[in-house]
Structure 1
């Protein structure tokens, strides 16, 4: 059995520490509670277990973050962090039962600690329930003086990127703690483009004393979709300049732009005289915009309805969408730096990748960035991609649109393979010829779109169970690693468990062992540790060889 060090339960915390910690988390809990009772938006009835997150209005969330940051110094001391370490608040989530989950980044001697993030879980009365950590290593380096110059680190990063057209931003000094013993390092961001035209923002971590490359990960997350049509759909628009802009004022102000073949900037905001958009054909430039805007709206509504989340980042603000990227670009991508989604028009500019589950997939990369921050490489990268497939699929089912019925197939209508087959299969990922059905020690070496297969398979098994069945007219036959039979608990419960784990227990370095631990904890929170749901989570992970 692979051991997971990331989640430390309260049972492992000495009573003295737990009692002292109550003071530092209690004030934050009370502030959140007060704001929830006052300025918070209306919330649906709490989950029976009380573990489902409740929504905070933008002012309430801002106040909770500010309060948590005021208490960050005390939190650092009570958690036993070193004198040179500080905590920076990233997020605060409050459950219906009053539990507060505060997510922190860490600094050491003023330097960002990459891989040092953690989440503190506090009960309604302020007592410490546990801490989820990206690393259990003590954060310390012998010296913060680098031997390698920033320019040397930038050159090393450019060499690592392997392209002469790339440019590196100024290297920043950091402490690298995501793998083993923390070391002084540089983080350089190499910007350029990949062979298919997708923008690249490769983060390269270089040892500040030896110049050796320690790690690299991509910050531009890519994905594909299923269809360019969703039929006749409602759109959120705003009256402007004698007509209408494709700006959804009811969902955080989401805007849809036409890049018109460009690859930089935002392009031109879509505008129409009569508020009747597109005609369902690719020759009408508005058609792709309709699909992108509709997908963004349904995704927003899904997160609100399913998880009471107010926008992708939880702050009530929308991302934005760009369509008609490049020329015959066969992909779509999410970029954290612009908090935006971008869609190509597909092969021969005939199949824009603006379908419903593409929007759900891409926007869910933004959710991951705003919460766990799963690094886009190795096993954490596979979990990042799987999260987007899981919620993109959930969005498609949520829409209940007869023109694109929900399924567990990724890209089945775009025909990127040229033979009518889907891009990915959640019931048996290996059917695509590259994805992993089960965990192995080498799965982290795969491209993240293939290592995601393990989590995609887990989610399908947890939702629907193993064996042959038909859902919405599509036939599936999902195997298990050990020949076991898994009984599904339903997609809605499976999504609740994944979301809970992502937002409160996963960290930037969570691997498959950590995902098992986090989802089991989430199932215990939501349904009880002796529940059928908890047992199903354990069985589904065992069925994909994560034990």
Structure 2
């Protein structure tokens, strides 16, 4: 689960989701794949390395071809005899380059942290980006501890977070390759609720020989009608009509639906919002379980996020398969958080203090659904530096959604959560120009950044993105004043938000892996800038300068 806020002792709040330290390996693979090219989403000539929108048939054909060739691919990129590849996703660029993302197994066991991306450029030597460069090999596949010991360890960790579960939801043997030497391990999952009411889906990795806990992370990451929203004013909503009843079902965006949980913590969908008229909400907050205003905000956020990804990157839905997620509002009672859960493929919003401050603002919606994009691309592990990059990715694209929407009631800015007043004093949750203004986030990298909560270690990448987009120093954008410093006292000139978004998306979808850290993120974004604009371009130099300005080299 990826939550919008991090909490100290479940009281102090901050925003949330995944691992990436990619290494490039050269192979001699030259296989190709035919698929449908498309113009850029805006209709302009596509950048050579920009992703194209594939038809469902073309995407399926690429995946099927990659799947049929997994054995040959594994051999060509030097995997061992016991290793097999499993196709996860495929992206094709305008110049014909195909990026195929794989998970892998060893002797039939899933290799956690063994994901990789194969980059196939027609007629040229290929490269591979790996989450780990370690050889996947273990001395024995026979555990030395009983599975019950691993389950007990996971239950203890889950109960410390508030879960009342007395049994694990399941455990399986895996190869853990997330850090260090690949190890035979158990992955145990425990459900229930955390102590603030957030659903719990704790994954605990236990060494199957010694019983030592190796890693843990949370798996919960958040007809045209008129919506009278709380945060975005009066907006148009695409709805559905059945007989004489309208519903908050958006058939034009993967059949996204908005449901009412009526202040419960149910794991189900709740009740679909319906109405006899096509007007939704009053524009004011209400603590009632029948309040529709929060639903209007959530539906609008889902709509704008879908359109942002489609228009900006040619991405059709969170999984790029044309299928919509769903949203749930009125979760719990006075629940001050929001979260994405990739297992249910859904966003969930609490109503905040006194059930009158729903966390359904536009940038929160974009943030949460972007956790889904990360989960279905790089899969950045939600811990350490990769977790900070995961959180920052959601902040970056949530900001992109807000600017894209161009809503006069919620103008685009580089502030996160400024509408929901989570601090009670009108201040935003996060500041991208100078992250430390929130009292906890890091402005620049240090060796201790990975020890911070992921909501605060994200500050390094948020600051990088702001500098890359807008540059350093004082300026005013859409009426908001910023003054962005640099750790090396340099002056950074921005390249514009549009190009910065393309570079980050390209890096996320083709160069980041589950274990990417900040050093590898610099490498990945430089690779993305080189692919999109050239290694001698102004954009490439700006990426390098912006990372140096936040002490990442």
Distance in 1 between the 2:536 and 2:383 partners? 34
Distance in 2 between the 1:413 and 1:301 partners? 21
Aligned to 1:51: 49
Secondary structure of the equivalent of 1:260?
A: strand
Tell me by how many angstroms 1:194 deviates.
2.4
Secondary structure of the equivalent of 2:262?
A: coil
Aligned to 2:200: 200
Secondary structure of the equivalent of 1:168?
A: coil
Aligned to 1:514: 520
Structure 1: which 5+ residue stretches go unaligned?
Answer: none
Tell me by how many angstroms 1:377 deviates.
0.8
Output aligned runs, 1:23-422, within 5 Å. Answer: 25-26=31-32, 29-30=33-34, 33=35, 36=36, 45=43, 49-125=47-123, 127-161=124-158, 162=160, 163=162, 165-166=164-165, 167-221=167-221, 228-264=230-266, 265-283=268-286, 285-422=291-428
Tell me by how many angstroms 1:241 deviates.
4.3
Is the Cα contact below 8 Å between 1:329 and 1:349 reproduced in 2?
Answer: yes
Is the Cα contact below 8 Å between 2:41 and 2:311 reproduced in 1?
Answer: no
Tell me by how many angstroms 1:42 deviates.
8.9
Secondary structure of the equivalent of 1:89?
A: strand
Distance in 1 between the 2:336 and 2:46 partners? 44
Tell me by how many angstroms 1:202 deviates.
1.3
> How many equivalent residue pairs?
521
Q: Report the RMSD for the aligned CA atoms in angstroms.
A: 1.6
TM-score of the superposed pair, with normalisation by structure 1: 0.93
**Greater helix share, structure number:** 1
2:499 equivalent to 1:493 = yes
Which segments of structure 1 move beyond 4 Å, counting only runs of 4 or more?
40-48
Is the Cα contact below 8 Å between 1:103 and 1:117 reproduced in 2?
Answer: yes
Aligned to 1:470: 476
The one of the two structures with greater contact order (alpha-carbon pairs below 8 A, sep at least 6) is 2
Is the Cα contact below 8 Å between 2:21 and 2:515 reproduced in 1?
Answer: no
TM-score of the superposed pair, with normalisation by structure 2: 0.92
Distance in 2 between the 1:213 and 1:456 partners? 31
Distance in 2 between the 1:41 and 1:200 partners? 42
Distance in 2 between the 1:417 and 1:332 partners? 15
Distance in 2 between the 1:81 and 1:319 partners? 35
